[in-house]
Amino acid sequence: MRIVIIGDGKVGVTLTERLSKEGHDLVVIDQNKRVLQEATTQYDVLTIHGNGATLKAQKEADVGRSDLMIAATSADEINMLCCILARKLGVPRTIARVRNPEYTEQLSFLKEDLGLSMTINPEYTAAMEILNLIRFPAALKRDTFAKGRAEIIELKLTPDSFLCGRKLYELMQLTKIQVLICAVERGEKVMIPSGDFQLCANDNIYVTGSSRNMAALVQKMNIVERKIRSVILIGGSRIAFYLAMALKGECAVKIVEIDEQRCQELAATLPFARVVHADGTQPETLISEGLAEADAVVTLTDIDEVNIVLSMFATRFGVYKVITKINRIEYNDLALKMGVNTIVSPKSISCNEIVRYVRAMDNTSDGSVLTLHRIVNEKVEALEFSVPKNAPYLDVPLKDLKFKPGILVACINHKGKIIIPGGNDSLRGGDTVIVVAKSDQLYSSLNEIFVS
């Protein structure tokens, strides 16, 4: 597929990396020669130096001959203009990154006129992920499928857990709860386990099941979970705005922001939150603002390194739930080793949504990707597929089907009922199914997971 990416910033660079690895023919347009040179050196892409919102640059990139144009510059208005031009030149589909909350209503009203197939708001999607983690604080990571009916959550096995030393086939007998451990991270190793896999202390386990059963599992594992009643947001970013709006009425929200003008803007739009004009990167400031009494802290400054250090400080200070925003995915391993356990990456979330859309474009028949999440520090993909109504594998017990190596069928959604599958269960037309595989195995349709 031929794809044009306009803007080679944080999201653009990650998209270039992901989509080039998936074998697409990429053209990158940007005004920064240095980043274009880096893109050419690292990936097999064509680069165009210029303003992607001009007819000249888009014609030079032969945008009209492309299958998709993605506008990911730092300016919403530029991105929307890029999409209008691209559609005029004949591109069938366009995606725009639009971050300003003031444009939300206009976008739904003008989506067709602007020629937009999809819009991405990294800050909003990150805020919603953080909201899920605040609502289910026992999870280190939480992703939803089947319109919220099914989840994959990350938990850490403590040395005193009754699951330590147990094999996975014993899980149902031990817990009496319909859940499945679909991935395990042990040190540097990542495993998609079979039933004979034995769990160990300090394993990070990724469990799938219905939302109700996840809560029951946490209770069964004696993981202390308390309701979050007060949250401190360090940094008054757009993520802080979206998150504070979502938390309205659920808990007390305090935003610590160093810029006085931004404080005034937030105070005017978020009258229910307490906005503090102070330097949240200073430990004494956080202590004076009630860090010891906070149930949760979310570090949302623009600097990853600062967020990591602040999160370490809050964790060692005894804050129950600490969530860290990190944009540079390469920092994830380092942050985890330093005790920063719950990480949210706006860039990564947005790129996953776009990659899912691209894979769905690649597969126009039934069985396409509905949801895509990357778990285990980006090393494993959890994909939700639709099940075609005329597929040859329908109503065949899973134990009789031949799957490619490294494939795990983790969950089936049958008419809203969440099923943790056993060997005698089968797929039916109209179901959706969650499949887990290593991220170096790229699947665009359900048909691809079977041995042909």
pLDDT of the chain, 452 residues: tens digit per residue: 999 999 978 888 889 999 999 899 999 999 999 989 988 999 989 999 999 999 999 999 999 999 999 999 989 999 999 999 999 999 999 999 998 888 877 777 777 777 788 999 999 999 999 999 999 999 999 999 998 999 999 999 999 999 999 999 999 899 999 999 999 999 889 999 999 999 999 999 999 999 999 999 998 998 877 899 999 999 999 999 999 999 999 999 999 999 999 999 999 999 999 999 999 999 999 999 999 999 999 999 999 999 999 999 999 999 999 999 998 878 887 888 888 989 999 989 999 999 999 998 877 666 789 999 999 988 999 999 999 988 899 999 999 999 999 999 999 999 999 999 999 999 999 999 999 999 988 899 999 999 97
Q: How far is 28 from 21, CA to CA, in rounded Å?
A: 15
Output the pLDDT for position 333.
79
Q: How far is 131 from 137, CA to CA, in rounded Å?
A: 10
- If one counts every other C-beta atom within 10 angstroms of the C-beta of residue 390, the result is 7
Question: Domain 2-120 has what CATH class?
Answer: alpha beta
First-residue to last-residue Cα distance in the chain: 24
Shared fold status for 2-120 and 227-319: yes
φ, ψ of residue 373 to 5 degrees: the values are -130, 140
Fold (CATH) for 227-319:
Rossmann fold (3.40.50)
Output the pLDDT for position 8.
75
Q: How far is 268 from 384, CA to CA, in rounded Å?
A: 41
Question: How do strand 68-71 and strand 252-257 relate by DSSP bridges?
Answer: unpaired
Fold (CATH) for 349-449:
Alpha-Beta Plaits (3.30.70)
Q: Tell me the whole-structure pTM to 2 decimals.
A: 0.89
Q: Is 366 in contact with 427 (CB distance < 8 Å)?
A: no
The DSSP string of 215-235 is: HHHHHHTT-------EEEEES
Q: Is 384 in contact with 143 (CB distance < 8 Å)?
A: no
Output the pLDDT for position 109.
73
- If one counts every other C-beta atom within 10 angstroms of the C-beta of residue 336, the result is 16
Output the pLDDT for position 335.
84
User: How far, CA to CA in Å, does 64 sit from each of 67, 94, 323, 381?
Assistant: 8, 11, 43, 32
Domain limits, the chain: 2-120, 227-319, 349-449
Q: How far is 207 from 171, CA to CA, in rounded Å?
A: 11
